[in-house]
Structure 1
């Protein structure tokens, strides 16, 4: 809280105010946060988890601040790895993330296949381990054959590149199944 706000509150209380609640004031009531808009925002996010608040605002013709209120406070979403995901994980998701195998030495590693539900909010290794280095590789290059350039880059990767990507997820999902944002 800013010092200006503290001074203002002190002044109000000296003048006899006894409540911290905002007083009612005149003006147009907020009509954008209705049930219909709330449902539409949820539908748009479920269709495309990478949708931006501005895009939702334009599609529904409601202010971006109201979209933010609906997305964050009513639905409990937050942006993670460029996707909207629920803030709270289910107990099943937390159980799965706590029971991931510990990384073994490279020579003895064996990857187990873990069931991955369709809309699981877990991080995908490709979001941070694959696409970042690929973008750095392609940066500043002029070429006609994008697919060929990507295939060439993939063929030159170290054999442990993808294994390292899978195991680098562990510290990001480590705290009792809750996400750690970095």
Structure 2
């Protein structure tokens, strides 16, 4: 039971009116001494409302706000209203407020983070990524706090250069951006953005419709030229390798075309080494042969590459996509013909080579 207060009801008409109002509350009881004892259970009236009733009585008795707070603190302890709340209610009641309950008001902002609100906020962001939180709150009739909660916690957006962008890209978002920064593709898109597969299909259909009838024929005619540049220059690598008994007997070996291209590449590197030797530059050279990424064992540019035991392929951020192998040769090396398991980053090449030629890294 909360024994809230005793108040004599016979001193003035104002005090009698206060006592009459208090008697209307659930749980109020009159005793035989002609004064009101307010005793209510926690079930009848919330403790916060009970404290507001006491504040109302003491304010009408011109008790100072600081004294009211101390009395409430002594009586209610940890359940006492904060000092700010007590002062706020004292000020409101002194200005003429009579009701101690929270007043309802029209168009109260929505406070629930519903799927409908989340979708509405995301739609506004996609329409204008420079929208402010306050603008979205006014547009949807949702509080600013709820808008911020939806943006940061549900949608995972943050603002960079006054634009809303995803904080952490999910798989689908990464997949749509994986090649956007490649120069030729970025220029070809010309700032176009596609939010769905349907938009992509529509754009491709319209683009192809504008092409002349011989567009496909011209593309096919160029294939033999590309083939000759890649494989058939100088020697017939395909013919030479097709007679390899190992290649014929093992169907699991890399494709004949891949082996042919590697053989051509090997010969091309050999030509570079020969040229350095003829010009007396080989003895003072460092030759580095490396890759810029893992092999495309699946998906884009699929070939016979293998990144085992690493996960991932070219154009992914797993180790199979970002790690590569390298071969370094120079007559200046003290220990040749060895395999190093040491890892390095591509940015290590420049200071390493500068130091090798005796240049100052700084």
- TM-score tier after normalising by the smaller chain length: 0.3 to 0.5
TM-score, normalised via structure 2 length? 0.20
Structure with the larger strand share: 2
Structure whose alpha-carbon radius of gyration is higher = 2
